Amino acid sequence: MTRPVRLAISGASGRMGLALLGLVRDDERFELARAIVSVGSPRLGKAVHGDLSALRFTDWTDAAGVDVVVDFSGPEGLAAALDHCEESGAALVTGTTGLSDALEDRLTKAAERIAVLRAANFSLGVAVLTRLLREAAAALPGWDLDIVEAHHNRKEDAPSGTALALGHAAAAGRGATLDELAVYSREGRPGARKAGTIGFAVVRGGDIVGEHQALLMGQGERIELGHRATDRSIFARGALEAAAWIAGRAPGAWSIEDVIASKRG
């Protein structure tokens, strides 16, 4: 697009939403057209400065003209954002996780009519980690594999969407699905580990932004692949790159890997 992309941020009062608002004000690629938050949100006014009288901060009423919606809300907020996108034809970029099967199905079907880009994590480093893990899991099919993730104590879903995405990549590298290989808990006396399974461990505490580690364990040796985020803005920057890239894009299910590939030429 030659003009600025008219952007709506769904979940604007959340941590990711506030990071997006802080960045988009100084990004000439975008015009902030909408900031969707819960009614009475106490955090928005502290983070946004300037004349915001033209913006709506509560709902999608009269939100025509939006090119791209960036959503980091929750399942209910994502469903409302998807309603708007399907009605208006706006593209959708979302990092919301912890979705029901019904909402997952809605997103899949929506990609037949609008451009949808989903990512459990918008970090370039995590995209590279995912690729490395897929290759390592394929090269070492007999090694045990566990994925350990840590996040702040307010995160509601577990394992994280990024951990699950890593699990899907590892399972694909071994020619299987995560449903076939995943083990989400071990307690009591579960017995010896079943060969080929992918285990998950979850840590929740403090203000951890996001940490993911994949352990591939063989006899007498171990490979550790990991990523640690210390600044939430890396995810917001990645989401804005995705929003700029997807504006005007044809309907389809796109990924952060598509954005990265386009930058490599």
Q: What is residue 38's predicted lDDT score, i.e. its pLDDT? A: 61
Pair type for strands 91-94 and 144-151? unpaired
135-164 residues labelled b (16+ CB within 10 A) or e (exposed): ebbeebeebbbbbbbbbeeebebbbbbbbb
Could you tell me the two tokens for 261?
């590939």
- The answer to whether the beta carbons of residues 75 and 99 sit under 8 Å apart is yes
Three-state secondary-structure class, residue 47: helix
Q: What is residue 53's predicted lDDT score, i.e. its pLDDT? A: 43
For helices 101-110 and 75-88, give the axis angle rounded to 10 degrees. Answer: 20
For helices 233-246 and 15-24, give the axis angle rounded to 10 degrees. Answer: 60
Q: Could you give the CA distance from residue 218 to residue 214 in angstroms, rounded to a whole number? A: 13
For residue 85, give the amino acid letter: C
Active site members: 151, 155
Q: What is the mean pLDDT of residues 214-221?
A: 98
- Per-residue pLDDT of 87-100, as tens digits, reads 999 999 999 988 89
- The answer to whether the beta carbons of residues 5 and 67 sit under 8 Å apart is yes
Q: What percent of the chain has pLDDT over 70?
A: 91
Q: What is residue 264's predicted lDDT score, i.e. its pLDDT? A: 66
Q: What is residue 1's predicted lDDT score, i.e. its pLDDT? A: 63
Pair type for strands 144-151 and 210-217? antiparallel
Q: What is residue 51's predicted lDDT score, i.e. its pLDDT? A: 40
pLDDT band at 231 (very low <50, low <70, confident <90, very high): confident
- The answer to whether the beta carbons of residues 82 and 219 sit under 8 Å apart is no
pLDDT band at 15 (very low <50, low <70, confident <90, very high): confident
Instruction: Give the DSSP letter string of 141-181.
Output: TTSEEEEEEEE-TT--SSS-HHHHHHHHHHHHHTTS-HHHH
Closest CA to 174 of 200, 198, 141, 147: 141
Q: What is residue 103's predicted lDDT score, i.e. its pLDDT? A: 96
| pTM, two decimal places | 0.73
Bridge partners, 242 (sequence order):
none
Closest CA to 98 of 127, 80, 117, 73: 73
